A = this chain, B = another copy of it.
């Protein structure tokens, strides 16, 4: 097995991409195993050591909904922050912001919906009234000097309404930016999007400024969609170490885009990430043992196993 891709740059891509690591939050909250807090602390520390500069660390969503992250306060209280590394935390409401502020969090994320159906099911709000929920949270966070990212979920489609009109996503996103959010993470929550849809959505926003992308690999499209986003100029890509985050409620293992598979492509394209691929693979291998299931990342599957023999490529 080869341990690193060859670097053959392509024209028209960013020189550098920031990988916004969501494994400790979006990954772990969607695993059926509940991981001890000391394992989470080591996970976050390993990610920083591998070169990550943005690690979404946990969430203050109520533990009734996300028992996997019920230890958010304990994790943050003990977190050893590496200088230069950002540790954003997902915050759903004022109470969550209170707790984030208590723990000295400097960056939060809020979670919005691009569709009426998912707003009702996930947030218990209408598409319109969700903004009333975010407005005071964002305003108070900004007052405290925090940075606020907004996730926009179901940007490509949802299971109830079919394809999400790009104009509707843009309208939701603009409202969030107008509230003072500094970055939108456009999420394909159910993984149905394809590359032309990605290009169309970014174009509808008038370009990649302040946009990040967040793909799930449910239908195997996450990396191809990321390539389309890079070609459209996006420089912030969400990913999860080892591709963890297969939804525990679905039978199939369909988590986030795996950081390692993304890094293989980016380094192959000559795009800098600042990340050490070998360290990421080691971390995913270590974490897979804790989670009790193999990593869905192809790179981890390839590099986490025994070294090559001639027979590996027998035809």
Number of interface residues of A (CB under 8 A): 70
Binary CB contact string for chain A from 250 to 292 against chain B (1 if under 8 A, 0 otherwise):
1111100010010011011110000000000000000000000
User: Does A193 make an interface contact (CB < 8 A)?
Assistant: yes
Residues of B within 8 A of A192 (CB): 2, 5-6
- Compute how far the CA of A258 lies from the CA of B298 in the bound complex, rounded to whole angstroms: 14
Known contacts A223-B221, A227-B227; A159 and B264 CB within 8 A of each other: no
Chain A residues 181 to 208 lying within 8 A of chain B, measured CB to CB, are 189-197, 199-200
Residues of B within 8 A of A218 (CB): 1, 298, 302
Residues of B within 8 A of A258 (CB): 220
Cβ-neighbour of A261 out of B118, B221, B313 (below 8 A): B221
- Compute how far the CA of A2 lies from the CA of B219 in the bound complex, rounded to whole angstroms: 10
How many monomers of this chain does the complex have? 2
Cβ-neighbour of A312 out of B5, B250, B269, B270 (below 8 A): B250
Cβ-neighbour of A217 out of B219, B270, B298, B306 (below 8 A): B298
Binary CB contact string for chain A from 83 to 126 against chain B (1 if under 8 A, 0 otherwise):
00000000000000000000000000001000000100110000
User: Does A163 make an interface contact (CB < 8 A)?
Assistant: yes
User: Does A57 make an interface contact (CB < 8 A)?
Assistant: no
4 tightest A-B CB contacts, nearest first: A194-B268, A10-B196, A220-B298, A220-B261
Beyond A10-B199, A118-B313, A247-B313, 6 additional contacts (C-beta under 8 Å) are A1-B218, A218-B298, A223-B223, A227-B228, A251-B305, A254-B301
